Structure 1
Amino acid sequence: MTRLLPLVRLHRPTLGDDVYETLRSAVLEHILAPGDRVNIDALARELDVSPTPVREALARLESEGLLRKRPRAGYTVSPLLTVAEFNDMFDMRLLLECTAARWAAERATDTQCDSLVEEAARTVDSGDEHSWHAAFTALDARLHDMVAQLSASPLLRESINRLHAHLHLHRRYFPYVQTAITNDEHRDLAAAIRAHDPDRAEAAMRRHLIRARERHLVAFED
């Protein structure tokens, strides 16, 4: 397990959630980089906890696709997707998230829609590269999760969140000079859902995802 940055304990309501969120953040920020082997005892010592919550956290991360487990070899951080796998993931996002946007426009209450519009208006304006990146990633994930939640389909929401876990591994290579465009697309999407216009909401999500794929694919060219 080779890395340059130390793990920073996050603080959640329970120890298990605390350890899980800490390790998930470490994976998404590439403190635990793609392909790294994960040593349970070493992590437990560094986080000053017993091995039990570490094992539980690693099992949760494996279920999300962020870690892989091999017999007698333990856990490793999942590798980055290939271009073909990345495109396949976005094809699935287009199927699932466009449906989520349509259903959200049809099913969400005005109060829920107002919360979505408020969330879409949030931006990240300051911070060092590490904290700013983490904040933007969290903001984007929360917006998409809110749309999935407003679809009123728990199974659809779970499927979308599993896809996002793979996307998040690539966030370190996202061209952040284009975040203003992302924010504009989020606001357009939220406005369409707030208007309870399913066709407009689906089109806004489709446009956002197609453009997002184009922005991310630049990283593969480098």
Structure 2
Amino acid sequence: MRPVRRLTLTDDVYTSVQTLIMDHAVAPGEKISIDGLARQLDVSPTPVREALARLESDGLVRKRPLAGYTASPLLSRAEFEELVEMRLLLEPAAAAKAAYAEDLRAEADLPASPDAPGFAGIAAFTAQDARFHHRVAELSGNAMLHDAIVRLRSHLHLFRLNFPQTHYGTSAAEHHRIVDAIAAGDGPAAATAMRDHITAARARHLTYLRS
């Protein structure tokens, strides 16, 4: 087992590099220098490599043989619509199957407003939003459905595009409508509420997309 200090360092480096990518300080498509990042963050190259491996699984960086890592391009309009289509196929089904779950209320709440500029200010919102959707998927009781929703990494990709301020308050209210239907054991209503939430989120992001 690795020492705790090493694990903490790796997590810190992961968060730092993730923030650089989400804020476009490392531009979409830009080649990433492991040694350069190590110097910038004042760490050895090893935790940077570990962070980049995790970010590759998140879809935020790409690795090519003999070429190293680059920051992934932003979603195109077509890719965005495909992501929304996948969410609409998977997440309403998960919400319907999660009916009668009663421990979602706290998960549905979201931070009230950004507390810092850039991704650092929305990181807590993004993480909590993802936890809510992943928890609904987990409560569906279908492990493959849960894993498919988690693997989409939709929150990172969407909030890398932009972060409309209308997400604050609005998203939490939509979450609570989903929870109300789930707690009432109304599967069809839960599916409809989830579908409405994803469709509304699509509209909030749409004007920021490139073609």
TM-score bracket relative to the smaller structure: 0.7 to 0.9
SS across alignment from 1:219: coil
Q: Which one of the candidate residues 42, 46, 52 is aligned to 2:46? A: 52
Q: TM-score, normalised by structure 1?
A: 0.80
Residues 116-158 of structure 1: CA distance to partner in whole angstroms, max 9, x if unpaired? 1112134323523334323322232222122122223333223
CA RMSD between the two structures: 2.4
1:69-148 paired onto structure 2 within 5 Å: 69-105=63-99, 108=101, 113-114=102-103, 116-125=104-113, 127-130=115-118, 131-148=120-137
Within the alignment, does 1:168 sit opposite 2:156 as a pair? yes
Within the alignment, does 1:64 sit opposite 2:55 as a pair? no
1:11-26 paired onto structure 2 within 5 Å: 14-26=8-20
Q: Which one of the candidate residues 197, 202, 208 is aligned to 2:186? A: 197
Q: Which runs of 5+ in 2 are unaligned?
A: none
Q: Specify whether residues 160 and 41 from structure 1 end up closer, same or farther in structure 2 by C-alpha distance, changes over 3 A only.
A: same
Q: Specify whether residues 53 and 189 from structure 1 end up closer, same or farther in structure 2 by C-alpha distance, changes over 3 A only.
A: same
- Counterpart residue number, 1:6: none
Shift of 1:39: 0.8
Q: Which runs of 5+ in 1 are unaligned?
A: 1-10
SS across alignment from 2:59: coil
Instruction: Name the CA distance, whole Å, in 2 between partners of 1:219 and 1:209.
Output: 16
Q: Specify whether residues 54 and 128 from structure 1 end up closer, same or farther in structure 2 by C-alpha distance, changes over 3 A only.
A: closer
SS across alignment from 2:207: helix
Instruction: Name the CA distance, whole Å, in 2 between partners of 1:29 and 1:134.
Output: 11
1:198-217 paired onto structure 2 within 5 Å: 198-217=187-206
Q: TM-score, normalised by structure 2?
A: 0.84
Percent of pairs with identical residues = 49
- Counterpart residue number, 2:169: 180
SS across alignment from 1:220: coil
Shift of 1:16: 2.8
- Counterpart residue number, 1:28: 22
